[in-house]
Amino acid sequence: EDQVTQSPEALRLQEGESSSLNCSYTVSGLRGLFWYRQDPGKGPEFLFTLYSAGEEKEKERLKATLTKKESFLHITAPKPEDSATYLCAVLAWGGSYIPTFGRGTSLIVHP
Amino acid sequence: DAGVIQSPRHEVTEMGQEVTLRCKPISGHNSLFWYRQTMMRGLELLIYFNNNVPIDDSGMPEDRFSAKMPNASFSTLKIQPSEPRDSAVYFCASSLGRGGTNEKLFFGSGTQLSVL
């Protein structure tokens, strides 16, 4: 059974204080790892897809990296508007096209 | 495109009543997912359709839940009878389908369901 564990559950940062969110996963064979951002009262919004160990993707202050066991979402010099819940999901090879989601990390960036 | 459209945004009902949630996926998308989100359990898949056919409904809690997709532009999730433990945010999501970045999901804004 595919498993996704995100840590920490919650993170409070000061504006400009860089940090990382972790997503550890267990799958039979990784087809893709996805990061989503969810704002209060809204549905998750796609950020990145990573497919193989060593791959990196960047978007503004966010950079996602991938190893064979985990992914990190690095947030550089965050701003209050980066406050949101960040969700990680994995898709495995083998017939099912259903992603398994982690519980998410709630990020609050204080001005 | 307007994105995935869900209705209603909020639903308050009494225990035992029937609830119907609606979803219009993005045009051209052939995969549709219904998820339920709670603080305790996070995002849980309820059912997955591909080309309007239910492929995996193993996440549907029990016989009180049913889902249909009569055509490529419309899906419903019905709860009958509803119970207080069904209170949650229900999301519909769609994707282009199989392969590469086609697998990223586009979510609707969700339906906040409260069963009293």
Interval A14-61: pLDDT, tens: 999 999 999 999 988 898 999 999 999 999 999 999 999 999 999 999
Query: Chain B: nearest CA to A99, how far in angstroms?
Result: 9
Interface touch A98/B33, C-beta < 8 Å: yes
Closest CA to B42 of B88, B7, B77: B88
pLDDT in tens, B50-70: 999 999 998 998 899 999 999
Q: At A82, phi and psi to the nearest 5?
A: -80, -5
Asked if the model's pLDDT at residue A63 lies above 60, the reply is: yes
Q: Which residue in the set B45, B103, B107 is minimally distant from A44, CB to CB?
A: B107
Find the angle CA(A48)-CA(B41)-CA(A39) to the nearest 5 degrees: 45
Mutation site for B-interface testing, chosen from A98, A103, A105 by largest number of B Cβ within 10 Å: A98
